[in-house]
Structure 1
Amino acid sequence: MRSRTMAVLGAAALTMSALLPVAPASAAPLAAPDIPLANVKAHLSQLQSIATANGGNRAHGRPGYRASLDYVQGKLDAAGYQTTVQSFTRGGATGYNLIADWPGGDTADTLMTGAHLDSVTAGPGINDNGSGTAAVLETALAVAREGHRPDRHLRFAWWGAEELGLVGSTYYVGNLPSSERSKITGYLNFDMVGSPNPGYFAYDGDGSSGGGGPAGSAGIEQVLRSHFTSLGVTVQDTAFDGRSDYGPFINAGIPAGGLFTGAEGRKTSQQAQLWGGQAGVAFDRCYHSSCDTTSNIDDTALDRNTDAIAHAVWTLGGDGGTQEPPGDTVYADDLESDTGWTPDPDGADTATAGAWQRGTPQPTSWSGTSLQLAAAGGSGALVTGAAAGTDAGTYDLDGGAGSIRSPAIALPAGARTLSFSWFFAHLDNSSSDDYLRVRIVGPNGSTTVLDQPGAAANRAGAWRTQTADVSGYAGQTVRVLVEAADAGSGSLVEAGLDDLKITT
């Protein structure tokens, strides 16, 4: 992010005017998948390694920048994106933008999502802006993994020379023919989304604090805020003043929005009460410094913001979906009655508490972080210890792995799509040794359809929807195996599954 003090504004009252069109009213968009934090952090580790090997930075005109671009482009090319490298010149050095188009969708209605890829020369730039770079990259890769085919065309971008004055994004917008510029109907920008003393800010698209964006920006702001509302996290406005790469887009009249966790500004006492962290201390004490390394990231903020990016891409992209409209339901279990799920089916579970059971889960939380949730629908669900107990740790999963298996499910020849609701919650004493996994087990093998690892960060429980193609098992008898683990050092872990369905 460019250097100058940003004014952080008070919480805004949302308006419903000038909303950016999303999906037709008759069809709600599919829910976004949960983006694994571990994947995002793996990209940050690669960016750190690139900087370390190239003089300690990834700045414009330096070898670390081009190596960063090559890394991101390689991931996108392998995932099936159509990538383009656009060059420009600044300060006697060649700079580059990376543009990646996901095939399909209405190219006359393009939703663009971007982040700047460069650092300052002083350091590796892992929060500024490896965090936005990695979050947008992993969201783009999730689009490919899910086979997502939205109504709108999706375009992703990684900008060069932002730190020198939005040079790359200004070059891109300024060199688009007017006919092409008019096809970009929305732009999402993510610059610093993992600050170590984080705030939760959205660009003031509706102008409620003065100086809002072009018509349609209010709709983007509302969608970004809605993810945090679902987590019970308050979001405040931040100035929509052209400081980051959304600037050239709003100057061209393109609706825009984005998220931000704070830079050199200091967290107020009120904000520390609201979000935790240290009052009177900068949101990012390593802003534009050599200490902006992989140690300069708050995992919870990075995880929440990455999931918010995916939520926005899926919601604003429209209802194209990941498969044809659902056909007939061939199997459904809302867990309201006993249909024959078997805990510890192989007699190999090692968990000493919090065994899987079908029951009525009692909500629990710890210091404001939701852990066990009430059922997604009705009153019944599969959970790791349904009771609340005297505190959140009484009936959580402890001491190892636990499992539960469905009754046999005979799939007809046309069976195609499995869907279910799930949550996985933990505190910051968790690690990647902990997990929630769901597998389809057939007569000739199995397929993992969900693999969510833990992490050393508070992860609030939230029901999410997962879909998977099970057409390879059509005509066979299968079972669904659900597994969870508190497998490393003792940690507070809860998991659940509900509303399982298979359709043709």
Structure 2
Amino acid sequence: MTTAAADQPAPGSRRSLAAGLMALCVLLLIAVGAIWDTTPTEVSPADAPGREFSAQRAFAQIERFAVKPHPVGTAEHARVRDYLVGELRRLGLRPEVHEAVGVSPIDEQGDPVTAGRVFNIVAVIPGTAPTGRVLVTAHYDSVPEGPGANDDGAGTAAAVETARALTADGTRLRNDVVFLITDAEEAGLLGSEAFVKDHPLARGRNVVLNNEARGAKGPVLMFRSTESNSGLISTFGSAAPMPVADSVYAELMKLLNNDTDFTAFKPGGMAVLDSAYANGGTLYHSVLDDPAHVDLAALQQMGDNTLALVRSFGGADLARLSTGGDLVYFNVPPGLLVRYPTWAASLLGGVALLAVLALIFLARRRGAVTGRRTLLATALALVPIGAGAAVGAFFWDLLKVLRPGLSGTATTTPYRPELFWLAVLMLAVTILVTWYALLRRRVGPAELALGVLTWAGLIALGLGIVAPGASHLAAWPALGAALGGLAALRCPPRWRVPVLTAALVPGALILLPSAWNTLPMGLRYAGYAPIPLTILFGGLLLPVIETLWPRRRTPLIPLTALVVSLALVATGLLAEPIDKRHPRRTSLAYGLDADTGKAVWLTSNKPDPWARRYGGAPATGHPLAELWGGGADLLSPARTAPLPAPTLRVLEDTTRQGLRTLRVRLHSARGATMVGLRVAGDTTTVTSLTVEGRSLTPDPVGFVFDAAGPGGVEASLTVKAPAGKIRLLVTDVSRNPGELSALPGFIPPPDWLFLGDTKISVTRSYTV
């Protein structure tokens, strides 16, 4: 830490250079090793022993059912369900098709409630002396635009292969094992909500292992769990053969909009572990989410972990499963999951900050730094961290300006993201070394290093109090660097760089891998974690960087870093393919007002060149856009298609004590999979609304019902009885992209685009 010490090798000298370069190489190798340690590579063959999980066998299942899009309410969806039921029966199980009505637990303020008819698949392997149940869950429906081989064909196939391995084993576990393949997850978590609400197996003591995918490869990360998770995480860390997990993601999920069936299971009182892989995010909700793009190594890790956890939880006394508190957890090589109670996070943060303050005190006493400059450096250390977050916030938008075709991905991830990821990290380096070069002589290198270290200690303590699951990102690196600085003050000069290097190992194990591993979340989020974490690690690395700092021409360092960053961005833009083998998403919706005979096109507020022909004025305030446009933002007139309007039939109409109750049946004459109802806001106020027996209170504004079926949907609504009649808006919606080709005026997109988030809606009003 005390690079100003008189007997230390001068910066830029050969001796200093060699020591610094070796230190940097060692730390980078440690970081790369930590990243590689969580990357799945092994795949078990199809002829693996029967009691083991085989990715090859599971993949054979995916090849049979995830061949076409199978959203709810379609014939292909029914075929996939029948196939899975048949496979479970072939294993000797007795699967049940749980038919129910689900209501989305996702709160969309001001929007109609999403509900739907669901067909969950439930199969049970009875336990010998159950203390609870272990549920293996995944969803079998897909989005309309892709076959869903990863999302969630991988999770579904992993469940079937796990069931096969358990039945082949011949040894029954203590607890019941339930295989729950949920329906309508993509429509709004409807199947899982219906199971929690309606099925008797949802009662009692349940541990849920939910498997998902937000990409096509990479480590299967257990990214969140229900609270009071000490027993869950401890079992996961000890039983799973490759337990990749980090509690920082649980904290991030509180900030980001990312729902899985976890969202429905959690209110049901279940103990849930939510896992997914996310690399290759460009294929998420894409036409390319097919069997050819399933990574067998990721599938193997998912299955190995699931099978091992089923056996561990299945043989345990679930009544004794500890729920005494939450844990902080993260990975370190070789394959270890470090974990400790969250109450220790604030204590650890306090210890780290005290160690930093002790280092500052001792450095001042030795004359290595001055108090005034250290305070100034601490204030100035916020500049690179804030600048990095700002650059990261606009990085994706800048890339889209430079290459507009990049915008068509669901996860803001290019097909070849690695060069962009390296560019993000190099931009962080550029910001840090520019700041250091400008202030090194004016403030002092040791003071600047202490300034960053002080913030690391403050962040460690702050996160330990408000977000303990993320506290380890700063606590261990700060504590290690502070203790290393204290040791360096007392050791001979020739040992200082090795001592500082050893002290920075926690940072290399935690900060750089965390920065790299959060990049698959999407380049839109580069400012959340990757850039700030890289800058924080670089700041802790400043004493080592100082040993490499040249005596002259120091502006070349930030200039070189900037050139490398720009070169990586430019190369990434040039290397990124945009063609029929690497298509981008485009969005388009068609809405027909059957009352007026007028129709509109709706597309996003930043349309691609093809969709721009359908974009016009902002759609705000237009009824079709507000109700059923699917989030579209631009609207233009369209030619009227000969589409029959949905029908409404009043079954019962009563008025009592100033409240009018209507029981109605909605039906799509054109066979659309979704129908919806909303009361025109200027005619009355809804006090209660029920659809197919499920109440949608409180404060319903309407509903849209998925998988309505040929018989339609029955709804009952109670409104404040007006003096005159009320107006009901009835809409049916189809989401098959192929149906757009039958609409007048539709021009197919070029082969480098595919249609996603497609909706065709017909709306008619009824006055009753």
Q: TM-score if structure 2 supplies the norm length?
A: 0.31
Q: Flag the structure with higher strand content.
A: 1
Q: TM-score if structure 1 supplies the norm length?
A: 0.46
Q: Flag the structure with higher helix content.
A: 2
